[in-house]
Structure 1
Amino acid sequence: MKPTNLQFFCPRWGSEGTGWETFFARLKAEGYNGMEWGVALDTPHAELDKIWDLAEQKRVAVILQHYDTVDADFNRHYDTYCRWLSMVKGYPAVKINSQTGRDIFTFDQNKALIEAATQFTVDTDIAVVHETHRHKFSFAAHIAKEFLQRIPHLRLTLDVSHWVCVAESYLEDQKETVALAIERADHLHARVGYPEGPQIPDPRVPEWDIALRHHLVWWDAVVARHRAQNKPLTVTPEFGPYPYMVELPFTRQPLTSQWEINAWMMRMLGERYR
């Protein structure tokens, strides 16, 4: 039995080679509520319409993910980001997970991008949550702290694995910032990082139990807050394919199955919070 306030989303990332009909059937059989789908800016509207119609037909809820605005020139970056938001405006997503801004932009430049997303939410009533992610405005806990303090309406996709990697620690000396992020988290990416990387090879094995337990403490707090507020929480188990997933030398064979790890993570969290 799944916890009633948790909704689990399967990442399309890593399954791009699987046909949509097969992918939807597989995630439904696994027990996911929907998918998280990274949509590139150059995706044709006809393709968006076709996949969206199929998702609705199959009763697969959709979280859209923004990821591919990377221009180092702020003005071009801002225009591209706004074009992406405009492109997806007509699609009733559960929410939008946005990898927003750049680590090289100023506070005010990144804030302008966040406010563009805020206006999108005002116009559409679809929440935009900003992922804590390397290379983006939120690449490190000590940097994201200022944004959280100065932008009270900023909401997050909490993916602590990135912060663990950047800080090369389990953030023991940044507890205040992590607590603030937990208060603002409306979506979880359930991937486990470690001080030397954003993804452990396999959360099911005892060698990585310490890393998993650190992340469970943070996830427990997010779940507890949503339960106390009687709010649903969306979770995407987001262990990724190569190069996140380590491969065996010369063979290009992954150490383990990305699909199986994510499905295991969903079942483990479902049981933990049931």
Structure 2
Amino acid sequence: MKIPLTLVVFFFSFLGFSQQKQLEFYQTDWGRQISWDAFCEKTKAAGYDGIETWFPKNEESQTELKVALIKYGLKVGFLNGTNKSLPFEESLKKYTEHFKTLIAWKPAYINCHTGNDFFTFEQNKAFIEAANSIAKENNIPIYHETHRGRFSYNLPDTQNYLSAIPDLKLTLDISHWMVVHESLLQSQNEELEEIINRSHHIHARVGHAEGPQVNNPEAPEWKKAVDRHMNIWETVIRKQWQAKDVFTITTEFGPADYMPTLPYTQLPVADQWKANVYMMKLLKERFDLK
């Protein structure tokens, strides 16, 4: 018998988990155009617990980031990714080696853009298993994001990997699947059950049937999409709260041109920072958190 997603949410709410558990919010630095110090100051002032970023390429930027994180008391979640422009063996080597650099910083977690939608099942599996092995060796959470262009670019294929790899842990960015499947996945609650069970981090961006990012999550025309995402996220969070006290979320609305822009001027139609803070506020209100 299928149990409606709304009933699952209600059941977990009834248990009262939100009174004892916590959410940690991370701000994306995607599109950042200010210094690390200014960005971290702004992030802390907005109420975030940390930032999510790719590792800086040069030593000066690395030093500036470390100083800013300490100064403003912020945590960091790093990204790691498969270089799709390289042959499989070379890409796997670089992907694996880069974990050493990231782990040395003791991040809160590492979120991975893993594999390639043109790699074979076994090739993508090699990336996942390499990351999972490193996670166990170093006792650090490593998650694999549901993302277009990667092994996890759609729901059915991701289910196959979950079946084959018992310790595969996901970052759920379901906005990608909304556009891939051209729907809000309203009829796929049963298919989403194992995805929800294996999701340990969330990217809080709202997608829709024709794109991975609505232009402004506050606009009333997107209420249906926002509500659908919020219901799925709440089910994930309450599920994971059964096993751990803290669940991490990255607000990840992107800049222009990921954010829709006006023709000719290329001006973004909404404020990226405001959209991300709005999503954090919405989630805090949902769980009655200050």
TM-score, structure 2 as length reference? 0.88
Q: Specify the alignment match of 2:25 in structure 1.
A: 8
Write out the 4+ residue segments of structure 1 that deviate beyond 3 Å after TM superposition.
44-47
For residues 62 and 3 of structure 1, do their structure 2 counterparts lie closer, same or farther at Cα, with a shift above 3 Å needed? farther
> Could you tell me whether the CA contact under 8 Å between 1:141 and 1:174 is conserved in 2?
no
Q: Cα distance, 1:4 vs. partner?
A: 4.8
> Could you tell me whether the CA contact under 8 Å between 1:248 and 1:254 is conserved in 2?
yes
Q: Specify the alignment match of 1:27 in structure 2.
A: 43
Residues 1-274 of structure 1: pairs in structure 2 closer than 5 A: 4-15=21-32, 17-39=33-55, 43-45=57-59, 47-67=61-81, 69-71=83-85, 73-274=87-288
The letter of the residue matching 1:11 is T
Q: Cα distance, 1:203 vs. partner?
A: 0.9
Q: Cα distance, 1:103 vs. partner?
A: 0.6
The CA RMSD over aligned residues, in Å, is: 1.7
The letter of the residue matching 1:239 is F
CA distance in 2 between partners of 1:3 and 1:189 (Å) = 23
Per-residue deviation, residues 214-233 of structure 1 (Å, max 9, x unmatched) = 11110110121133334311
Q: Secondary structure at the match of 2:128?
A: helix
Q: Secondary structure at the match of 1:179?
A: helix
Q: Secondary structure at the match of 2:176?
A: helix
TM-score, structure 1 as length reference? 0.93
> Could you tell me whether the CA contact under 8 Å between 1:118 and 1:128 is conserved in 2?
yes
CA distance in 2 between partners of 1:198 and 1:72 (Å) = 26
Per-residue deviation, residues 7-45 of structure 1 (Å, max 9, x unmatched) = 000101122x111111111011100001001226xx235
- Listed as ranges, the gaps of 5+ residues in structure 1 are none
The range that moved more, 97-106 or 2-11, is 2-11
CA distance in 2 between partners of 1:113 and 1:67 (Å) = 10
> Could you tell me whether the CA contact under 8 Å between 2:207 and 2:214 is conserved in 1?
yes
Q: Percent identity?
A: 36
CA distance in 2 between partners of 1:110 and 1:180 (Å) = 19
- Listed as ranges, the gaps of 5+ residues in structure 2 are 1-18
Q: Secondary structure at the match of 1:228?
A: coil
CA distance in 2 between partners of 1:271 and 1:128 (Å) = 28
For residues 193 and 217 of structure 1, do their structure 2 counterparts lie closer, same or farther at Cα, with a shift above 3 Å needed? same
Q: Cα distance, 1:245 vs. partner?
A: 0.3
Q: Secondary structure at the match of 2:245?
A: coil
CA distance in 1 between partners of 2:77 and 2:244 (Å) = 21
The letter of the residue matching 1:7 is E
The range that moved more, 50-59 or 139-148, is 50-59
Q: How many residue pairs were aligned? A: 270
Q: Secondary structure at the match of 2:178?
A: helix
Q: Cα distance, 1:154 vs. partner?
A: 0.4
